[in-house]
Amino acid sequence: MKNCIIHRLKTKSYGEVLEMQKNLFEENIQRKRNQQPTNNHLLIVEHPHVYTFGKHAKSNNLLASPEYLKTMGAEIHHIERGGDITYHGPGQLVVYPIFDLESLNLGIKSYVEKIEAAIMDVLNIYGIEASTISDRIGVWIGVGTPNERKIAAIGIKSSRYITMHGLALNVNTDLNMFNHIVPCGIPDKAVCSMESELNEKIDLFEVQERMIDAFISIFELQV
């Protein structure tokens, strides 16, 4: 089992946590260059309103002007993860694993599959049946029906097998905030949340702790 440091960050701005991610990421890159042991980190956070653009984001997937979004108190960040545009905000659980995949004997594909499995394990505890779609990263509800909807998004960056960025699970998220974008660049699919699926507010802290447990189990981590 590999050691992992858990960072429960509560509510922090996207920019602040991005800087923290970069520092931990670069520290591990440097450790690998120096042939020193790396450290695995799991950052758990809830962000204020923010829209992030991945390196493949298309400008026409932003349906509102940046000026309008700023009047709503939302930040905008252009970042180096894969994927298109997405939203983070209150009621959403965001997880950033800064992992050394080489030390975990994982490739990128198996890493993403394990993240998806952790999300689905947590949702299953609440009686939410979720699954994946072979050509689309993330976790979905109602796959194979006319009402396929996304409940969790994944976007990562990796260099020298060190990862950053991660996943966002909609728990009690205000889904109206997704109306200002084409989420993840997929125009024909809706988004949902645990709250919208269960018709009740969910304890975000409880989901957080269950997500940590799922990561520890699936990635065989020691904390």
pLDDT tens by residue, 59-110: 788 888 888 888 888 998 888 887 778 899 999 999 999 999 999 999 999 9
Note whether 107 and 211 are within 8 A (CB): no
Q: Where in the sequence numbering do the catalytic residues fall?
A: 184
Picking from 102, 82, 78, 80, the residue whose alpha carbon sits closest to that of residue 29 is 102
Sort strands 130-133 and 190-191 into parallel, antiparallel or unpaired.
unpaired
pLDDT band at 186 (very low <50, low <70, confident <90, very high): low
Domain CATH for 37: 3.30.930.10
In the predicted model, is pLDDT for residue 211 greater than 60? Answer: yes
Burial of 73: CB neighbours in 10 Å, binned 0-12, 13-18, 19+: exposed
- DSSP type of residue 47: P
With a pLDDT cut of 70, the percent of the chain lying above it is 97
CA distances from 203 to 96, 171, 207, 211 (A): 20, 8, 6, 12
pLDDT band at 187 (very low <50, low <70, confident <90, very high): low
pLDDT tens by residue, 101-141: 999 999 999 999 999 999 999 999 999 999 999 888 999 99
Domain count, the chain: 1
Q: What range does the domain containing 89 cover?
A: 2-222
In the predicted model, is pLDDT for residue 220 greater than 90? Answer: yes
In the predicted model, is pLDDT for residue 210 greater than 90? Answer: yes
